[in-house]
Structure 1
């Protein structure tokens, strides 16, 4: 494992490089995401885990302009130049799928493949409400009970540590996130920094105005879309039905996973990703 950083307008973006083989840039947190992938994948690919501005310590004077999605995309490009990458696959999980696809469209000359995992096509309020309704209609009584038990602590968590509001929400919504609804994901978030002003803007505004299915219409590179059957955060998987018509898109539904199939079904995830990555461009 190798770590480094680059400074972008006062934001100290960390990166973590792990593995060997064809490079896959993973946008998100360089602390959180290395914990999700199985060791076997590091023997096939070089993963480059890259922070974005929402996962670094807040700078003292944050301007509104520091919150744009375009800045995030240009940060990724600066990291590419810093690491001297000529071609690679880019991976975006959850909300980071919007960043990954956005970069692939802005800098297509460097991206050979696009991997979008566990995301909804949009993060609009309407879609979020649709996901909650799906949970209420289809989740088991035991799963709902676990959710009610955990979510009751969220207000207290936020009051004690408001700058980690995003982390607290992710932890307390485990019943929406994992096939094993009692799974304790607290360890995944240890030492993960959050910058809530930027996260609020990206997830609440920028991603709500975008639609990944619409964005895919002009993408000719191979695209892998991975979804968890029990991922209630971005449910239902039928939101992605229309992409089956795209010849360059491979959609895989992981039947015993929630929001993190690379962690929950590592062997199946390995098989599907390696097979797709080995296909000729």
Structure 2
């Protein structure tokens, strides 16, 4: 997997908002695709080819942004994150655009489409389980226990003590250490070294703890699917053991009759990087 996806044309900057430096990076050509998360991490995971067909707008949320003040309770709220995304959309004069969210950022993309339907064309979730509620996390664990190969299990057993040591040494980067330490559950290649993806990425752990540990655990997925009017594509990796497997979406899609699901057989949690050709084709076919 090649993460050297640095195109010739690139515009980047920051929006200062409520004490945060919300970074953005704009790359490519064509209709805009808004991608919330980290403007440093996510450009490394999408292909050069995709940038020839779409303008990718990578924007930070507060969990990945530098802050000039102590964190406050409002910083942990999903509504605040959505307001920031909307402020960045206006700041960049994007107009109506498609939105894509990877992993937990899929809930941000979905809820943004719920709250600002006039500003969203289509919605794409990548590596996003229906929620992070106990039942869905148990489904992820069951998939791991029944499908993971012995070599994959052995690598996880090796990596977990290293992850715990890193967390003790630098707890402020616990989110990064957990992502790296769970490689065997995250990637089709269970030994993949994702450290270059995280180089230079800021993390605000209280925000991740609140959103990933609480908000997304109780995310009202049925209500969200019933509320959105935008067409929806859900992209899942066959070997993603971090979130509930693709089939966990099936009972819910009756609430979203226009939703489509795509499963990538040689991918884990990040099919845009693991199977870029297949991913790009499916994405572009959906976006039109």
TM-score (norm 2): 0.93
Are 2:117 and 2:229, in contact at CA under 8 Å, matched by a contact in 1? no
Aligned to 1:240: 249
Deviation at 1:127, TM superposition (A): 2.4
Q: Deviations over 1:6-27 (max 9, x none)?
A: 1111011000000000100001
Number of positions where the alignment pairs a residue of Structure 1 with one of Structure 2: 278
Structure 2: stretches of 5+ with no match in the other structure: 1-9
Aligned to 1:127: 136
Deviation at 1:201, TM superposition (A): 0.4
Are 2:235 and 2:261, in contact at CA under 8 Å, matched by a contact in 1? yes
Q: Deviations over 1:86-105 (max 9, x none)?
A: 11001111000111111111
Aligned to 1:105: 114
Aligned to 1:151: 160
Deviation at 1:183, TM superposition (A): 0.9
TM-score (norm 1): 0.96
What is the SS of the residue equivalent to 2:122?
strand
For the residues of structure 2 that align with 1:257 and 1:170, how far apart are their CA atoms?
Answer: 16
Are 2:21 and 2:67, in contact at CA under 8 Å, matched by a contact in 1? no
What is the aligned counterpart of 1:264 among 274, 279, 282?
274
Are 2:136 and 2:248, in contact at CA under 8 Å, matched by a contact in 1? no
CA RMSD after TM alignment: 1.2
Are 1:243 and 1:249, in contact at CA under 8 Å, matched by a contact in 2? no
For the residues of structure 2 that align with 1:112 and 1:90, how far apart are their CA atoms?
Answer: 8
Are 2:130 and 2:244, in contact at CA under 8 Å, matched by a contact in 1? no
Aligned to 2:194: 185
Are 2:237 and 2:263, in contact at CA under 8 Å, matched by a contact in 1? yes
Structure 1: stretches of 5+ with no match in the other structure: none
Deviation at 1:131, TM superposition (A): 1.4
1:204-243 alignment runs, 5 A limit: 204-243=213-252
For the residues of structure 1 that align with 2:217 and 2:229, how far apart are their CA atoms?
Answer: 24
